[in-house]
Structure 1
Amino acid sequence: MRISVQKARRVVDQIRGRSYEEALMILDLMPYRARFPILKLLYSAVANARHNMGFHLLDLVICKAEVNKGNTKKKLKPRARGCSYPIKRPICHITIVLKNRFLNEEYEIWRRAPQNAILLEKGLI
């Protein structure tokens, strides 16, 4: 996206780890220009999660949100007497990963279940 990394990180840091509803409320109230493309990206990620995975909107949590620096577009601005000044246009790459909060809890319970069964057999619990 055609936003500087610092300006995009200022917005993304506020929504990392929040639920989908909270992130929407936070983004709606932010006064920064970088919130519009991030809001569109969040809508797209949620639409993909609903269509591809069948997740419900209220169960989604932003587990990973990062902003990385991209290439810098370099242009020249013509000035007086045949001179030119360089113009640098920064670009950033924004990644948002959503997870279903209930599937993560089920996975944690399933992962610990064999350990608990072994401890029960040995009489340690």
Structure 2
Amino acid sequence: MGSKSKLQVGARALGKNVRVSVIKMQRIINRIRNCSYEEALVSLEFMPYRACHTVAKLILSAAANASTNLEPNKSDLFVSKAWVGNSTYLRRFRPRAQGRGYPIRKPTCEVTVQLSSKSIEK
């Protein structure tokens, strides 16, 4: 291994059944991936999307998990991995003509954010 920088296993936070579609969440996650902890929070604060609040809460939760488990400085943390996956649909019915029910599917997603810290081994 030598003097190469090695990524330590970080702490993560998982949000299940978030009431946002995957495509809308993916545009936020793509912007914060590989950013530092502070930079990700600042950029989320100024993005105009509703789902930014949820992602910011996940980053804060992952940072709290990192401070409990790994004890790094928050300035050393960065978003190493972040991904979004499909979850279940919230199913509703809308009344239509001749007594029929029209299904409405409201999408949800699962968001995972993993924070890591960089360390240099000598």
Give the TM-score normalised by structure 1: 0.78
Per the alignment, residue 43 of structure 1 pairs with 60
Shift of 1:80: 4.6
Q: Does 1:59 align with 2:67?
A: no
Amino acid in the other structure paired with 1:42:
I
Q: How big is the shift at 1:77? A: 1.7
- Percent of matched pairs sharing the same residue: 42
Q: Distance in 1 between matches of 2:73 and 2:95?
A: 53
User: Larger relative CO (CA 8 A, sep 6+): 1 or 2?
Assistant: 2
Higher helix share: 1
- Spell out, residue by residue over 1:22-57, the C-alpha distance to the aligned partner (whole angstroms, 9 max, x if none): 101110110011101111111100011011221211
Q: 5+ unaligned residues in a row in structure 2: which ranges?
A: 1-17
Higher alpha-carbon Rg: 1
Q: Which amino acid is the alignment partner of residue 20 of structure 1?
A: Y
Q: How many residues align?
A: 105
In structure 1, runs of 5+ residues without a counterpart are 110-125
Query: Counterpart of 2:43?
Result: 26
Aligned Cα RMSD in Å?
Answer: 1.3
2:39 maps to amino acid: E
